[in-house]
Amino acid sequence: MTTTTPPAAARTATTRTRAPWRRVVAWVPAALVVAVAVLLWPTAWGGGTTLVVVAGESMAPTYASGDLVVARAGTAHVGDVVVYRPDGVDGYVVHRVVGGDATTGWTTRGDNNGWDDVWHPTAEDVVGVVRWHVPGLGAVTAVLASPTTWLALALVVAGWLVWPGRARPETEQPAQEVARDPHP
């Protein structure tokens, strides 16, 4: 059984018709990176996401120390776990809303505590409602919170998008052998 290879012109024509699809497929990873960046854009830069590492055991068994919680801006309700920054405290509190309201102040409590918090955060104090958590991933937060990380990510994506593709020859030429003198 003999097989034949199609002429170079036929192979090139087939490649040209697939090239636009390859370009579209090449943009998919970039679109995913942009979507994730928008989703995780920090509230400190005008976004709607706050990443917080849980410290302590007040939210056990729901969250353990070192867990990463992802809070998104939104309206809190009784039963939600919220992230808020009390006046005079350097850092965030991650506790469950057990009563109150957004205007006069929420009553919050850690799931592992038998007492309510002394603070009563209002809607302005709540930076987000916890939507997801990743057990033990708190160490990554320092990297994600760094402006340098976001700048580097943006530069990599921009460079990847503008990097020229490999030029493809119209026709493929067989490599020419160079005759060598056996007696130099």
Yes or no: domain 43-144 corresponds to CATH 3.20.10.10: no
pLDDT band at residue 67 using 50, 70 and 90 as cut-offs: very high
> How many other C-beta atoms can be found within 10 angstroms of the C-beta atom of residue 67?
20
Domain ranges of the chain: 17-40+146-160, 43-144
12 burial via Cβ count (<10 Å: 0-12, 13-18, 19+): middle
pLDDT for the residue 7: 60
Where do we find the tokens 């320092």?
142
Query: In sequence order, what E strands does the chain have?
Result: 49-53, 68-72, 81-84, 93-101, 105-109, 126-134
Catalytic residues: 58, 95, 117
109 CB-contact burial (10 Å; exposed 0-12 / middle 13-18 / buried 19+) = middle
pLDDT of amino acid 47: 78
Percentage helix, strand, coil for the chain under 3-state DSSP, each rounded to 5: 30, 20, 50
Tokens describing residue 135: 């057990």
**What is the predicted pLDDT for the residue at 11?**
53
Q: Residue 125: its pLDDT value, please?
A: 93
More reliable by pLDDT, 20 or 31: 31
| Digit-coded pLDDT (tens) for 79-106 | 999 999 998 888 999 999 999 999 999 9
pLDDT category, 181, cuts 50, 70, 90? low
